[in-house]
Structure 1
Amino acid sequence: MSMSAPHETLIRHRSLSHPRPSPTHVFAYGTAGFRCAADLLESVVFRVGLLAALRSKKLGKTIGVMITASHNVETDNGVKVVDSQGEMLTSSWEAHATTLANARNEEQLYKALLDLISSEKIDFNSSGHVVFGYDTRPSCPVLVKTLHDGLDSMVVKETNAGLVTTPQLHYLVRCYNTEGTKDSYGEPTLDGYYRKLAKAYTTLAIGRPLLPALTVDCANGVGSQAVSSFIPIVTPSILPLILVKTATTTRGALNHDCGADYVKTRQTSPPGIQMIPGQRYCSFDGDADRIVYYFADGRGTFHLLDGDKIATLAAKFLIDLVGKAGLQGAVKVGVVQTAYANGASTEYLTETLKVPVTCTPTGVKYLHHAAESYDIGVYFEANGHGTVLFSPRCLSLIETSATSPTASEASKNLFALTQVINQTVGDALSDLLLVETVLLHLQWSPYDWDASYTDLPNRLVKVLVQDRTIFETTDAERKVVQPEGLQGRIEEVVARFEKGRSFVRPSGTEDCVRVYAEARTRKGADDLAQAIASLVFDQYGKGPKPALFK
């Protein structure tokens, strides 16, 4: 039956079976989509199904939906929409998602749908296709059924990709939409994903002396399934891995005392991992879109190799390959960071590697967009989320410009890197292969990698404030323009510390501001953090002072 609008009775009926947790609960679509306690999410997932179907009809493209809460505790869950090129949902549709999620009743919801169809000029009779996936959380099966109810109400084709990492779903969406074109990104199946990575990594690794085995903490999440599926395809002999924290069916284990976020924030290895000095270790997060590396030295001291260290390693290798391929001057390599990047990494990039660095506000969409302005754009957040983007012009030059055996070999390796790197989004497995490639080619130990530069000691402090909305920033969140006069006082304090740097930015989700401080010494960083946080708290704070300042 042809319809020019959604079936009102069906949508009302199904919406009633997936009620809002309360009429006053407010949902907001952020960088990670919607994310909260899983038992609050059912109405939102149903409505995201409606939205994703309309987005697909609007574009005439495949759209993705991922059910995950990444590094959050197991009792949380979330849902986000993946746009047609495997990127994050465009901002204007984030607002549409928030409107649908917050419609208080079935009448409001149906009106919001009609308004969306009208404002976006969507032909409801056009076809649509939505591919969806989910992680290992116990709440996923119910939410998948809920999502189906939303999609089915809008008459679109559905593809259940099953248990997948978040970056795998991003990959699938781009593959569906580029299949059969000159921009084909690969085969839109998980096998296609694994084979693409395996073929490229084999090209990069074959014939080179093996490094010692890498221990991979899979955060007791879906990443363990992904790596386990990948190993037999790539041939374990060229990528020796030891998988730990793979308890995907143990209730409460996901992200508990393990994973990239745990390692980054605690600055220690997960309990149960006995670190051997000089050996490499890495941790994924729960949906495998972040990775951090680490090792212990001979004295047992823990060393973190975070997103900043991965970005600098990748940039060094890419600049070297571009030079060997004879593309220096023709291909512009750049790195994108946020204000949270360690100052020592920025100095190493600009002073030692002589590579341009762009600083953007916090949020993957800002980094990704800025990276597109380079021929080869490297972006990583310090938390380990990031990737490398290659422009179409760069890809063309890599394939056609080699004029010598050395240049030909470098071009072959550059092309293989474009295949091993997931250019849609940060991907822990893909980024693992990138790091292992560089270490293999350079024959570097973790000591060598870490010695590139020494991180400046830093401290991140949360300060509760009466009203976070009075804080406004500029210069990629590095300077405060409101309240007036605060930036001047911050700069006066910072000037007293050698290699001092500090900034204040409001949280996007709670009534607090975050104070970042770094300096040449650990005491300097702590004293600077205390001084700036006290300055903010004394004038704008609420509640008890943070424990650090008592």
Structure 2
Amino acid sequence: MASTLDQQALAAASAQHPKLQHITYTYGTAGFRTEADLLDSVMFRVGLLAVLRSKNLKGKAIGVMVTASHNPEKDNGVKLVDPMGEMLHGSWEPYATQLANAQTDDLLLAALDSIVKATGTDLSQPAHVVYGHDTRPSCKPLVRALVDGLSSATFGSEAPKVELVNAGLVTTPQLHYLVRCLNTADSPDPYGEPTIDGYYRKLAAAYTELSASRASGHKPSPFGLRGRELLPAITVDCANGVGAPKLKEFVKVIGTDYLPVIVVRDNTTTAGQLNLNCGADFVKTQQRAPLGVKPIAWQRYASFDGDADRIVYYYADADGVFHLLDGDKIATLAAGFIMDLVKDAGLDDKVKVGVVQTAYANGASTKYLTEVLGVPVTCVPTGVKHLHHAAESYDIGVYFEANGHGTVLFSPSTLAGIRSSLDSATSSPAADESQLAARTNLRALTELINQTVGDALSDMLLVETVLLHRQWTPAQWDRAYTDYPNRLVKVLVNDRHAFETTDAERKLVKPEGLQAKIDALCKEVDGGRSFVRPSGTEDCVRVYAEATTRQAADDLVNKAAYLVFDEAGGKGTRPASGFF
């Protein structure tokens, strides 16, 4: 290794971003995430780690996103993105935590040196980092701290200068897209043009193709009046976040003829509005429309979260009753449509479709997938990295968390097979028309879906595609199966790390004895199911319950939540009644 740590320069730079002594940081499912004014040193050190990670991978581009997604505006966070647009490899998460918690500049230097040695990183390698941020007011100073870290990570005068790409204001999935594009640009299978305009054009071209060749009775048919009458404008709540300006930019590219949209909750300039009484997390947990939005009966509504990587749909019936179409509903919609396309394309003997869920998945959705659609289902712990990895085991893996975060992965061999089958069908004069249409639509789907990470905009286009092809209203979509009533609440606790789970987070191991008491509560309720897991992003635990009736689910979640509060270190004042 020709280059070594420039200890004097690194120490001087680190001194400008001192570690807060009373804080312990943990790199979790969503990276680092806490109150924004606690993150200055973390941002600087993440910059150092991003450069090390890129050097370790021989100069491949690494992404850094400054965001706190659905968290309140006072919070912020940062996460790293690996070369193919996936989350930071789990083996490097402890290094992030190690750097963030080094108490002094000297200990930081020692930690850097140990990471270099442990990973066999050659500091003489080049480094390439692309970074972006969302709309939070705290992003500006935190990005400056990040850039200080990136710029300070020269690791000696002989090391190549770090190549930095400032993506600026972007959604989280757009940053993931850029990283993958940069790393595949010179490969036989480039993912796309590594610009935001390229992202828009890729999605627009795919959606336009799918819309203009809607499958009806196994025959392509133009996107015409009938489709538009059935799919009027969709109202999209952008959580007063980065999704608002980005959705508006996309609509300018594709045009309102193809995507008529009414954008609401698009205030990104007034302090305190981000995710406030709106957004995907609010709609999912509160099971009602954003504050001030009164759904028109039978019309389509959707909500993004603050960084636009989650989406949920919803509608109201003629009586004004709210109906949620969450990540489970999206997964079943997508899986059924893809299975039909695979069958119509004549590829069902070659392509295995599967769905990945977490413990939060509604039991009715799992039953529908396995018993009605005949789709294999894998259950994994909460967290995108777990779902993404499990989805890769299928030829086409559909994964969605109930909160609306998810996507569809196509294996490299499946992508090649779809292209090859389309080429052979196109060149054959005797090609079956319906089979050709299905293969064409499958190919377009692989371009429409952002396969790097959950993407609210891409997923919205996926849902709109299926509804258009099926000629379904949201109510028809909803009738595929009926969710078991459920509730999800948060309980503040003194130490969330005292809670340990097993069985894909469906059972508590610690605190000891608590799971048995929760099981006893469930046995008292018809169809009762409840579990408790520590949050990966907040200082709390989450309590989920479902049952065959709304009242039973509400009672069960309250009993389980109070049990956790009373026996496992509840924090603050115990609520007198109602939900936590």
Q: TM-score, normalised by structure 1?
A: 0.95
Task: Give the match's secondary structure for 1:286.
Answer: coil
> Could you tell me which residue of structure 1 aligns to residue 364 of structure 2?
344
2:389 is aligned with 1:369: yes
Instruction: Pick one of 301, 306, 316 that aligns with 2:321.
Output: 301
> Could you tell me which residue of structure 1 aligns to residue 447 of structure 2?
419
Paired with 2:497 and 2:73, the residues of 1 have a C-alpha distance of 31
> Could you tell me which residue of structure 2 aligns to residue 79 of structure 1?
78
Q: From the superposition, tell whether residues 232 and 301 of structure 1 become closer, same or farther in structure 2 (CA, over 3 Å).
A: same
Paired with 1:413 and 1:323, the residues of 2 have a C-alpha distance of 12
Deviates more, 1:314-323 or 1:527-536: 527-536
Paired with 2:376 and 2:67, the residues of 1 have a C-alpha distance of 35
The answer to whether the Cα contact below 8 Å between 1:463 and 1:541 also exists between their aligned partners in 2 is no
For 2:21, give the aligned amino acid: P
1:340 CA drift (Å)? 0.8
1:375 CA drift (Å)? 0.8
1:481 CA drift (Å)? 3.9
1:4 CA drift (Å)? 1.2
Contiguous gaps of at least 5 residues in structure 2:
155-161, 213-221, 426-430
Instruction: Pick one of 222, 233, 245 that aligns with 1:213.
Output: 233
1:510 CA drift (Å)? 6.7
The answer to whether the Cα contact below 8 Å between 1:31 and 1:363 also exists between their aligned partners in 2 is yes
2:470 is aligned with 1:442: yes
1:534 CA drift (Å)? 5.1
Task: Give the match's secondary structure for 1:352.
Answer: helix
Q: From the superposition, tell whether residues 115 and 470 of structure 1 become closer, same or farther in structure 2 (CA, over 3 Å).
A: closer
1:18 CA drift (Å)? 1.6
Paired with 2:191 and 2:434, the residues of 1 have a C-alpha distance of 27
For 1:233, give the aligned amino acid: V
> Could you tell me which residue of structure 1 aligns to residue 528 of structure 2?
500
Contiguous gaps of at least 5 residues in structure 1:
none
**CA displacement 1:392-427 (0-9 Å, x = unmatched):** 121122122355221111011011111010000000
> Could you tell me which residue of structure 1 aligns to residue 209 of structure 2?
203
Instruction: Pick one of 26, 30, 33 that aligns with 1:32.
Output: 30
Instruction: Pick one of 179, 188, 191 that aligns with 1:185.
Output: 191
1:17 CA drift (Å)? 1.4
Paired with 2:63 and 2:569, the residues of 1 have a C-alpha distance of 42
Q: From the superposition, tell whether residues 314 and 120 of structure 1 become closer, same or farther in structure 2 (CA, over 3 Å).
A: same
Paired with 2:150 and 2:495, the residues of 1 have a C-alpha distance of 39
The answer to whether the Cα contact below 8 Å between 1:534 and 1:549 also exists between their aligned partners in 2 is no
**CA displacement 1:439-469 (0-9 Å, x = unmatched):** 1101111111111111111123445667655
Paired with 1:199 and 1:11, the residues of 2 have a C-alpha distance of 46
Q: From the superposition, tell whether residues 267 and 529 of structure 1 become closer, same or farther in structure 2 (CA, over 3 Å).
A: closer
1:102 CA drift (Å)? 0.9
Q: From the superposition, tell whether residues 47 and 464 of structure 1 become closer, same or farther in structure 2 (CA, over 3 Å).
A: closer
**CA displacement 1:230-281 (0-9 Å, x = unmatched):** 1122122111111112222222222222211121122222223232111111
For 2:456, give the aligned amino acid: A
> Could you tell me which residue of structure 2 aligns to residue 386 of structure 1?
406
Q: From the superposition, tell whether residues 41 and 536 of structure 1 become closer, same or farther in structure 2 (CA, over 3 Å).
A: closer
> Could you tell me which residue of structure 2 aligns to residue 174 of structure 1?
180
1:111-510 to 2 correspondences below 5 Å: 111-155=110-154, 156-206=162-212, 207-208=222-223, 209-210=227-228, 211-401=231-421, 402=425, 404-463=432-491, 471-482=499-510, 486-508=514-536
The answer to whether the Cα contact below 8 Å between 1:7 and 1:153 also exists between their aligned partners in 2 is no
**CA displacement 1:57-99 (0-9 Å, x = unmatched):** 1102110111111111222211111111111001121111111
For 2:192, give the aligned amino acid: G
The answer to whether the Cα contact below 8 Å between 2:285 and 2:487 also exists between their aligned partners in 1 is no
Q: From the superposition, tell whether residues 129 and 226 of structure 1 become closer, same or farther in structure 2 (CA, over 3 Å).
A: same
Q: From the superposition, tell whether residues 463 and 36 of structure 1 become closer, same or farther in structure 2 (CA, over 3 Å).
A: closer
Q: From the superposition, tell whether residues 495 and 329 of structure 1 become closer, same or farther in structure 2 (CA, over 3 Å).
A: farther
**CA displacement 1:205-231 (0-9 Å, x = unmatched):** 112222100011111111112111111
The answer to whether the Cα contact below 8 Å between 1:463 and 1:546 also exists between their aligned partners in 2 is no
> Could you tell me which residue of structure 1 aligns to residue 157 of structure 2?
none
Deviates more, 1:431-440 or 1:532-541: 532-541
1:487 CA drift (Å)? 4.2
Q: From the superposition, tell whether residues 261 and 328 of structure 1 become closer, same or farther in structure 2 (CA, over 3 Å).
A: same
1:312 CA drift (Å)? 0.8
Q: From the superposition, tell whether residues 182 and 510 of structure 1 become closer, same or farther in structure 2 (CA, over 3 Å).
A: closer
Q: From the superposition, tell whether residues 100 and 535 of structure 1 become closer, same or farther in structure 2 (CA, over 3 Å).
A: closer
1:492 CA drift (Å)? 4.2
1:507 CA drift (Å)? 4.1
Q: TM-score, normalised by structure 2?
A: 0.90
Task: Give the match's secondary structure for 1:53.
Answer: helix
1:24 CA drift (Å)? 2.6
Paired with 1:45 and 1:441, the residues of 2 have a C-alpha distance of 45
Task: Give the match's secondary structure for 1:233.
Answer: helix
Task: Give the match's secondary structure for 1:236.
Answer: coil
Paired with 1:270 and 1:464, the residues of 2 have a C-alpha distance of 24
Deviates more, 1:70-79 or 1:443-452: 70-79
For 1:362, give the aligned amino acid: T
Deviates more, 1:400-409 or 1:257-266: 400-409
For 1:371, give the aligned amino acid: A
Task: Give the match's secondary structure for 2:135.
Answer: coil
For 1:301, give the aligned amino acid: V
Deviates more, 1:462-471 or 1:220-229: 462-471
2:546 is aligned with 1:547: no
**CA displacement 1:23-65 (0-9 Å, x = unmatched):** 2311111111111111111111111110000100110211011
Instruction: Pick one of 531, 554, 559 that aligns with 1:526.
Output: 554
Deviates more, 1:24-33 or 1:457-466: 457-466
Paired with 1:102 and 1:470, the residues of 2 have a C-alpha distance of 20
1:489 CA drift (Å)? 4.6
